[in-house]
Amino acid sequence: MTITRRFAIGCLMLGSVLLAAGLAGEAAAQVKPEGEMRWALYVTLSPVWFDPGEVVGQLTPFWVLYALHDALVKPMPGNQMTPSLAESWTVSADQRAYDFKLREGLKFHNGDPFTAEDVKFSFMRAKGSKVLHDRVKEVVVVSPSRVRFQLHEPFPDFMAFYGTMATGAGWIVPKKYVETVGDDGFKKNPVGLGPYKFVSHTPGVELVMEANESYWRKVPSVKRLVYKVVPESTTRAAMLKRGEVDIAYLLEVPQAQRGGPSSIRARAPTPTAATPTSTISTSGKRAKPTARSARRSCTRSSRS
């Protein structure tokens, strides 16, 4: 398996687990988020990953983006182009214009209203989107809840770049806030539209986030997420066994097998996200029971 494919699978896996642990069951009654879920990650969390405009040819930042931010259209379990901040979109007859109808009444974590101006601003500042920038003639703010991308010529792959993890151009940041604090200030204290709010970041140690109880899709079930930076796989395995973390990434098979009866060798629920031994989960004592149940439901014990 290539590194790129492993990262892609890891991001899809994370999206699946985030959905199951915090956001599953949109029809379920809204409850106050409770508990804490800790993750042992094998990579150092860079502040650059807190800003979707900085995504340049990497998929690992989406581990953070899926929690802190939201996109007009994004991959979700069961649908690789799920309408999110955009309720819908249409393509003109000549295939040179894409019109998006935005969800109304949404607010960023700091209270700023979400509008089409934020969509245009986010697109224009996205660094890893040369393919899109070369093909988009202009971004037109039709109204606060409508935005149009006018292309130079037909580009059938527009949504494949804008509505997936190919770029961060469709992930939205608050224009007013970014212009006030600057790019560096935004990385220190990111503000988004996602299901979790930024709390703190200790470089080389951990990232802490708390539930956004105003998230439009569904209030997360788990109140607090902690991403721990643990480069050594043996340390990740030991932390998992001791119950210091609930989920550990990229453990070697022997380490996973020594994890004890509570460990689960995980596969995502869909073939596109399936990868053996990519995630090992314990019973998750800190997370509330509903989160633990959801997490178990999105995994499958298997033998390679």
pTM, to two decimals: 0.81
Judging by DSSP bridges, how do beta strands 222-229 and 34-41 pair with one another? parallel
Q: Average per-residue pLDDT in the chain?
A: 81
Q: Quick: pLDDT tens for 129-153.
A: 899 999 999 999 999 999 999 999 9
Mean pLDDT of all residues in 48-61? 91
- pLDDT beyond 80 at 84: yes
Evaluate whether 10 touches 66 at the Cβ level (below 8 Å): no
Q: Quick: pLDDT tens for 243-276.
A: 999 999 888 766 666 655 444 433 333 322 322 2
- pLDDT beyond 80 at 299: no
Nearest C-alpha neighbor of 212 from the set 85, 37, 27, 69 = 69
Query: What pLDDT is attached to residue 211?
Result: 97
Mean pLDDT of all residues in 160-167? 94
